[in-house]
Chain A
Amino acid sequence: MKSILVLVRKDFANFRRDRAGMLLTFLIPLILIVFFGKVFGLGGASAERPGIPLAVVNQSTDPLVNKFIDALRKEDSFTLITTQPSANGPRALAESDIRPLMQADRFHFAIVIPADAISTQGGVHVKYFTNPNNQIETEMVSGLLQKVAFTSSPQLLGRAMQARMRDAVGSTRTEAFDHSLAANIARTFGGDENEIFKSLREGGGVFSPPESPAGADADEAGVGLNRFLQQFVHVEKEQVVGADVKSPQATQMIGGWAMQFLLFAVTSSAAALFAERERGLFQRILSGPTRRSDILWSKFLFGMILGLVQLLVLFFAGHFLFNIEIAPYLGRLALVCICAAASCASFGMLIASIASSQEAARGFSTLVILLMSALGGAWFPISLMPAAVQTMAHFTLVFWAIEGFMQVLWAHATLLQILPTIGVLVGITALVMSVAWWRFARGAIFD
C-alpha cells in the first residue's frame, strides 16, 4: 500500500509540473464550458437567445389565420421573418422570395399561407418549405408548428372540418347537421338553440361556450369562445420532476460535458504508462519491493482522484457561472462523481492495456470516447436515437454517469434512489478493471 501511495504522489507531482496536462484537464474544459454556456444561453441568458428563423408569407385575410400567425409570433422558439428589406424600406415577404432566400441560407423554414388557406374544398392549406440540413431542428420546427396549430387556433381546424363536410355532403345537409347539433346541445346542456347554431357556424363547427357567468367582466366574456375552444386541445402541463431546478438547461448539460472532459483527461493519464515503460522506469521500480499490481493500482487511483477533482471543479464552475445548484446535494453528487471517476479511470486502464503504444492509446481512446459520449447522451438526448441505439447506450459508462448526475441535480434523488445507478457504475468499474488486469498480465507493458 505504501508503494501505491508513493506512486500516486509521484503522479501528482508529475502532473503539477505538466502545464499542458493542467491546461487540458482544468482550464480548457472551463473555457469550453463558459463558451458553450454562452452559446446555449445558460445562466439566465436564455431570454436573449433568438428562436429558429421561420419565414411567414400570409396571403390570407382570414382573421383566424392572423390569430395563427400571432400564436407563432408568441412562440419563443421561433423568430418570425415576415418582411424583406428593399430600396423603399422593408416590404412584406412574398412567396417568390422564399426559395432564393432559403438557397442563400437566410433561413431553413418557411410557411406560405395562401389566400384560400381554409378552402372550400376542405382542409387548411399551408405551404411548408424546408431545408432539413439539421434533422433535430427540422423535427423540432415541425412539432412546434403542429403544437401552435392545435393549441392556439383550433378554430382553423374546426373551419377546415366544416369545409370538408360541406364538400362531402353539401351545404344544405351541413347546415341541417349544425341545426341538429345545436338542438341537441341546447336540449342536453341548456342554452339558446339559435345562439348555439350561430356560434357553431362562426366558430367553425365547434361548440360555442356557455354564456359567461354573471359578474364576469367584459374582457373575459369576449374571449370566452376562444378559451372554450382551446379547452378541446388544452394540454394540462405539470412538471413532475425538476420543477425547482434553478438553472434547468445548464443542469441538463453539465454532466455530459464533464464526462467527456473527464474521459479525455483520465485516458491521457493512463496512456502515460507507455512513456514510463519506454524510459525504463518500470524496470527500476519493479527491481525493488514493488509489485506490478502496485503500479496499476496507483495509476487507477491517480486517475480516479484526478477525475474526481476535475468533476468537482467543473460542477463548482457550473454553480458559479450558471447558477447550477449543488450545495444541497453535495454529498450525493460527490458519491456519483467518485463512481463516475472510478469508471473513467478503469476505462483509461483498459485502453492502456489494449493499445500497443501511447499514440495508439490516444487515437483509439479518442474514437471510443466520442462514440461513447454520443451514444451515452452527452451530446443530445438518447431518446432521439433509434431504439437499438438507445439499448446500446445502457452499456456505456457515460450514460450511467449522466443518469447519476441527473438523478442528484435534477430529480434530487435520495441516496437510496441513486444506489442502483451507483451500483451499475461500480459494476462497470469492476468489470472493465478485470479485463484491463487480464490484458496487462498478458501484455508486454512491464517487459
Chain B
Amino acid sequence: MKTDFSFLSVRDVSKTFGALTALDGVSLDIPRGEFFGLLGPNGAGKSTLMSLIVGLKSPDRGSVHLDGASLDLRGRSQLGFIPQGIALYPRLDARQNLAIFGGLHGLRGRELGLRIDELLAAVQLSDRAHEPVKNFSGGMQRRLNLAAALLHRPKLLLCDEPTVGVDPQSRNAIFELLEQLNRDGLTVIYSTHYLEEATRMCSRIGIIDHGKILTVGTLDDLLGQLSFRDEIRFPQNDRTASFAQALAPYGQVLNDENEFRFHPSPNFALSAFYREAETQGIPNRLIQHQRPTLEALFLQLTGRALRE
C-alpha cells in the first residue's frame, strides 16, 4: 500500500567505488511536502545519495522508489535536480539556458515561454534575461541554476549544496524561494554542510557520514538524542568555590584547571542558578552557558566537526 510517508523511499542502498564504500545500507523515507535536510561533511556520501536518487548512478544494492514506482526515465521527469556545480551554459543567455532545460522536459512554445518568464521573475533575473550567463555574478548564476531545475514543475526537488560560494543576498533569495515552493507543496531534499541552513529550513534532518545515515529526525528530536547537557562554566576563585559547593546538590560540578563546569540535573531550573549566582555576588559576565547544538550532536555522532 502506498502511504504518504513513502513519497520517496530509499531502501538499503549501497554503493561502492573500488575499495571506497560511498553508501552503506542507507534507508530513508521522505513524506510528500517535507523539507528534508541531508547534513554531513564533505565526502560523507550526500552527493552519491543524491546521484542515486536522480538516477545518475545505479546502486550496487537496494532500491529507490518515488510515489511507489521505481525511478525510470519517465519517473525522472517528476524530479528537479540542482547539481553542486553551476550547471549552465555560460555563453548562452539566461533565457536560452532555461529554454534548453525546459525543452529537455518536453516544454514547448508559449507554455515554455511563460514558465521561463515566471521563473526569471522568481529568481529576480527578469532584467538580465538576455545576458550571457558568464557575465552573471556567482549568486545570480546560483539563482538561475535553481530556476533551471524548476521549469517542469517537479514534485521532488533535490538540492546538492546549492548555496556554495553565494553572497548573502542571493542566499536569502534562494532560501525564500525554496521555502515558498515548499509551502506550495514541493518536496525538497536539501544537502548541505551548513548547520544554519539545515536548522533554518528543514523540517527533518538526516545526518550522514561515511556513507551511513547516523540519525534522522526533527531538530528537537535530534537535540533530544544528545547525551550532552547544558553546561555552565565559571572561573575558579574564593568566591566561586563556595558557589560551586552550593550547586553540588543540583547537578554535577567538575573542577577543571581554572574553572568550574556545572552540568545541571534535568529537573533543575536554570533560573534558580542565576538567582543563586546573583545572591553570591557573581557577575553574569563570568558565566558561560553552553546549550546543545546540532554541531555538538554531529561531533558526538561522528567524532569530527561538520566542516572537517
User: Chain A: residues with CB nearer than 8 A to chain B?
Assistant: 2-3, 6-7, 9-10, 13-14, 17-18, 278-281, 283-291, 446-447
Residues of B73-101 contacting chain A, CB below 8 A: 73-74, 76-77, 79-81, 83-92, 96, 100-101
Provided the pairs A14-B92, A284-B149, A288-B152 are in contact, do residues A2 and B55 lie with their beta carbons within 8 angstroms?
A: no
A289-B86 in contact (CB<8A) = no
A285-B89 in contact (CB<8A) = no
- List 18 other contacts, CB 8 Å, given A283-B81, A285-B101: A3-B104, A7-B100, A10-B89, A278-B85, A279-B88, A283-B87, A284-B81, A284-B83, A284-B87, A287-B83, A287-B158, A288-B76, A288-B101, A288-B105, A288-B152, A289-B74, A289-B105, A289-B106
Query: 7 A-B contacts, Cβ less than 8 Å apart?
Result: A6-B100, A6-B103, A280-B86, A283-B56, A287-B83, A288-B76, A289-B76
Q: Does any Cβ of A come within 8 Å of B236's Cβ?
A: no
Q: Does any Cβ of A come within 8 Å of B57's Cβ?
A: yes
A289-B81 in contact (CB<8A) = no
Q: How many residue-residue contacts, CB under 8 A, span A and B? A: 85
A287-B86 in contact (CB<8A) = no
Interface string of B15-58 (1 = CB under 8 A from A): 00000000000000000000000000000000000010011110
Residue of B nearest to A292 (CB): B56
Task: Kindly provide the distance from the CB of B80 to the nearest chain A CB, expressed in whole angstroms.
Answer: 8
User: Chain B: residues with CB nearer than 8 A to chain A?
Assistant: 51, 54-57, 73-74, 76-77, 79-81, 83-92, 96, 100-101, 103-106, 132, 148-149, 152, 158
Q: Main SS of chain B's interface residues?
A: loop
Task: Kindly provide the distance from the CB of B181 to the nearest chain A CB, expressed in whole angstroms.
Answer: 17
The residue in B56, B80, B149 that gathers the most chain A C-beta atoms within 10 A of its C-beta is B56
CB contact between B83 and one of A9, A17, A283, A289 (< 8 Å): that residue: A283
Residue of B nearest to A281 (CB): B87
B51-A283 in contact (CB<8A) = yes
**Which residues of chain B are within 8 angstroms of A14 by Cβ–Cβ distance?**
89, 91-92
**Which residues of chain A are within 8 angstroms of B89 by Cβ–Cβ distance?**
10, 13-14, 281
**Which residues of chain B are within 8 angstroms of A446 by Cβ–Cβ distance?**
56
Provided the pairs A17-B132, A287-B56, A289-B106 are in contact, do residues A280 and B83 lie with their beta carbons within 8 angstroms?
A: yes
**Which residues of chain A are within 8 angstroms of B92 by Cβ–Cβ distance?**
10, 13-14, 17
**Which residues of chain A are within 8 angstroms of B152 by Cβ–Cβ distance?**
288
B79-A284 in contact (CB<8A) = no
Q: How far is the CA of A284 from the CA of B79 in the complex (A)?
A: 10
CB contact between B86 and one of A3, A7, A279, A447 (< 8 Å): that residue: A279
**Which residues of chain A are within 8 angstroms of B132 by Cβ–Cβ distance?**
17
**Which residues of chain A are within 8 angstroms of B158 by Cβ–Cβ distance?**
287
Q: How far is the CA of A200 from the CA of B239 in the complex (A)?
A: 144
**Which residues of chain B are within 8 angstroms of A289 by Cβ–Cβ distance?**
73-74, 76-77, 104-106
